[in-house]
């Protein structure tokens, strides 16, 4: 019964994360189209998430760890990487279509697996696992290969996103497992610290000039119903994915978490085909099926009874326990999002 309950809980968390991640990508693309201020948009998401956790905690609907300066100092490096990953993700969606986002997002599981083996001294994934990761990558590349709408600006942001999201996937696992925070505590620290860093980037990127110019002009575009709805939805889903993202990281491995993020883009593409006029050809959609098939193959490679990959997962957990000490609350956590 305990095993069945744990399986149901893990499945619910992964499904919740997949839905939030898939919908958030499209919602953010729509929001940044109608509200062309990426720094301010992400800041509003951070504010909603941090304020939501605090208010719900005061009302007794959830429990989160109290914000302390000492813990904040320890968490700051992880929050910085998270902040940069979300910022580059938003700007990638601003300058490129969802297809470009998908192909670079699909690169992360393979890079995370390599980084885990190289820097965190984790056992090498099995051959079947690597084959499944390569199928995911090949399918995503083939999907986007049918779309020629690329630009230097878009690729620059895509490369920046790839670097930051891969770093975040690996680095957060190393950083947060010793802090002893619960899920909502992680959400609070991550978003509150990111919100504190947002004004710095506004000035560095010069976005504040556009923001103040719009305020001075009082054009009314900020309060158009469509723009307001898109921004509001992005903020609500930002809070939801904060919970599901962190909770799912605790339940599954870093590579499984990133593969889930790649596979759930199938829903993103389906929505993208419906609402946008720029998408891949039927051949590209066929390539996407290979990405999904790679995700299924990966799941088989890591859940097969007595498989090398299963022994790998067990060894990984044992290694984490030995290195990190008492980490029952944070075992299995890896990096996000976005985020996202």
Domain that holds residue 56: 1-316
Query: Alpha-carbon distance 337 to 33, whole Å?
Result: 20
Query: Alpha-carbon distance 332 to 267, whole Å?
Result: 26
Going by C-alpha positions, the residue among 276, 289, 274 that lies closest to residue 138 is 289
Angle formed by the axes of helices 207-217 and 38-58, nearest 10°: 80
The answer to whether position 333 is within a domain reads no
Coil, strand or helix at 179: coil
pLDDT of residue 304: 52
Query: Alpha-carbon distance 57 to 17, whole Å?
Result: 22
Query: Are the C-beta atoms of 261 and 102 separated by less than 8 Å?
Result: no
CA angle 291, 265, 186 (to 5 degrees): 120
Contacts of 271 (CB under 8 A, 6+ apart): 22, 23, 26
The answer to whether position 328 is within a domain reads no
The answer to whether position 325 is within a domain reads no
pLDDT of residue 292: 73
The answer to whether position 225 is within a domain reads yes
Residue pLDDT tens, the chain, 340 long: 567 777 777 888 888 888 887 787 788 888 888 888 888 888 998 999 899 999 989 998 888 888 899 889 888 888 898 899 888 988 888 888 777 777 777 777 777 777 777 776 677 777 888 888 888 888 878 877 776 666 778 888 888 998 888 888 777 766 666 677 787 888 899 899 999 999 988 888 888 888 888 777 765 555 678 888 889 999 988 788 877 877 787 777 776 776 776 677 677 777 777 776 666 677 777 887 787 777 767 666 655 544 444 444 433 433 333 333 333 322 222 333 333 4
pTM score of the predicted model: 0.70
The answer to whether position 207 is within a domain reads yes
Both tokens assigned to 110: 């393979």
The answer to whether position 245 is within a domain reads yes
Q: Which three-class secondary structure string do you get for 299-340?
A: HHHHHCCCCHHHHHHHHHHHHHHHHHCCCCCCCCCCCCCCCC
Count up the domains in the chain and report the number.
1
Going by C-alpha positions, the residue among 284, 240, 293 that lies closest to residue 22 is 240
H or E element that contains 78:
helix 69-95
Instruction: Compute the chain's Rg from CA coordinates.
Output: 20
């Amino acid at each position: 019964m305990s095993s069945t309950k744990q399986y149901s809980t893990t499945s619910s968390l992964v499904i919740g994360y997949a839905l939030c991640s898939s919908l958030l990508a499209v919602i953010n693309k729509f929001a940044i189209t109608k509200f062309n201020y990426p720094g301010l948009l992400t800041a509003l998401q951070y504010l909603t998430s941090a304020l939501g956790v605090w208010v719900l905690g005061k009302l007794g609907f959830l429990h989160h760890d109290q914000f302390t300066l000492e813990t904040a100092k320890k968490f700051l490096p992880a929050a910085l990487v998270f902040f940069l990953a979300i910022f580059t993700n938003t700007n990638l969606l601003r300058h490129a279509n969802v297809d470009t986002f998908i192909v670079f997002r699909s690169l992360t599981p393979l890079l995370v697996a390599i980084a885990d083996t190289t820097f965190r001294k984790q056992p090498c994934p099995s051959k079947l696992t690597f084959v499944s990761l390569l199928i995911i990558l090949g399918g995503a590349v083939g999907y986007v290969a049918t779309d020629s709408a690329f630009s230097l600006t878009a690729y620059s942001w895509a490369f920046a996103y790839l670097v930051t999201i891969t770093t975040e996937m690996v680095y957060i696992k190393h950083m947060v497992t010793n802090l002893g925070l619960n899920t909502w505590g992680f959400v609070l620290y991550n978003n509150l610290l990111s919100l504190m860093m947002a004004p710095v980037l506004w000035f560095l990127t010069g976005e504040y000039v556009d923001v103040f110019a719009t305020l001075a002009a009082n054009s009314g575009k900020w309060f158009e119903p469509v723009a307001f709805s898109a921004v509001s939805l992005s903020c609500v889903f930002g809070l939801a994915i904060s919970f599901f993202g962190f909770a799912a990281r605790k339940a599954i491995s870093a590579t499984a978490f990133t593969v889930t993020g790649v596979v759930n883009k199938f829903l993103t593409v389906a929505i993208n085909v419906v609402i946008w006029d720029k998408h891949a050809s039927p051949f590209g959609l066929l390539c996407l099926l290979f990405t999904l098939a790679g995700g299924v193959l990966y799941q088989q490679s890591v859940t097969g009874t007595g498989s090398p990959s299963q022994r790998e997962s067990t060894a990984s957990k044992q290694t984490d326990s030995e290195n990190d000490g008492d980490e029952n609350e944070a075992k299995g956590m890896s990096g996000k999002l976005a985020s996202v």
